[in-house]
């Protein structure tokens, strides 16, 4: 599996395909191209520690949907407050693979707790939980 993935990344067409994916003016528009940047990004200072409606729309760009009742809980309920507290404990300026990143994503730490809390919600599985975390901390939990 690792060799196959490396072959894809090293392929002559990889850079061209990546540019095409993020091209706002290309012949084919990919909805996921704006996932990280929509409305200034999920980690912008004024919303980095809360789930916003913009975050939910961004996740939809990756072909998944947060169920309505769970979305309401994230936007207006106790669930949103709990996730916000956990997000506040996760820096936005640490990249996966750098010093201290392992500590931040380790079992039991805030990122792990937030992911598990999301994963436990009705209609959210590990994929959607991961995409929400990637939106809020794109450098640490891509």
DSSP per residue over 15-80, as a string?
HHHHHHHH-TTSSS--GGGGTTTGGG-TTSTTTTTS--HHHHHHHHTTT----HHHHHHHHHSHHH
pLDDT in tens, 55-82: 999 999 999 999 999 999 999 999 999 9
Confidence (pTM): 0.88
Q: How far apart are CA 126 and CA 25, in angstroms?
A: 32
Residue 57 exposed, middle or buried by CB count within 10 Å (0-12, 13-18, 19+): middle
Cα 88 off chain centre by: 15
pLDDT in tens, 26-52: 999 998 999 999 999 999 999 999 999
Average pLDDT, integer, range 20-27? 90
Average pLDDT, integer, range 10-15? 87
Supply the pLDDT for residue 1. 63
Domain ranges for the chain, please list them: 1-34, 40-136
Please, are residues 37 and 24 in contact by the beta-carbon 8 Å criterion? no
Backbone φ, ψ for residue 72 (5° rounding) = -60, -45
Question: C-alpha distances in angstroms, 56 versus 6, 41, 48, 60, 135?
Answer: 31, 12, 14, 6, 9
The residues, ordered by sequence, that sit 6+ positions from 11 with a Cβ below 8 Å of its Cβ are none
| Count of CB atoms situated within 10 Å of the CB of 85 | 13
């Amino acid at each position: 599996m690792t060799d196959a993935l490396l072959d894809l990344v090293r392929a002559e067409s990889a850079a061209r395909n990546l540019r095409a994916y993020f091209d706002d003016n290309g012949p084919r528009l990919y909805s996921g191209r704006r996932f990280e940047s929509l409305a200034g990004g999920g980690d912008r200072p004024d919303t980095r520690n809360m789930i916003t409606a913009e975050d939910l729309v961004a996740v939809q760009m990756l072909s998944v949907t947060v169920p309505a009742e769970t979305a309401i809980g994230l936007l207006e309920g106790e669930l949103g407050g709990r996730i916000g507290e956990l997000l506040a404990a996760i820096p936005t300026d640490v990249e996966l693979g750098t010093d201290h990143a392992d500590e931040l994503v380790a079992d039991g730490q805030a990122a792990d707790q937030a992911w598990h809390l999301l994963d436990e919600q009705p209609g959210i599985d590990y994929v959607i939980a991961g995409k929400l975390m990637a939106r809020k901390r794109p450098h640490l939990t891509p």
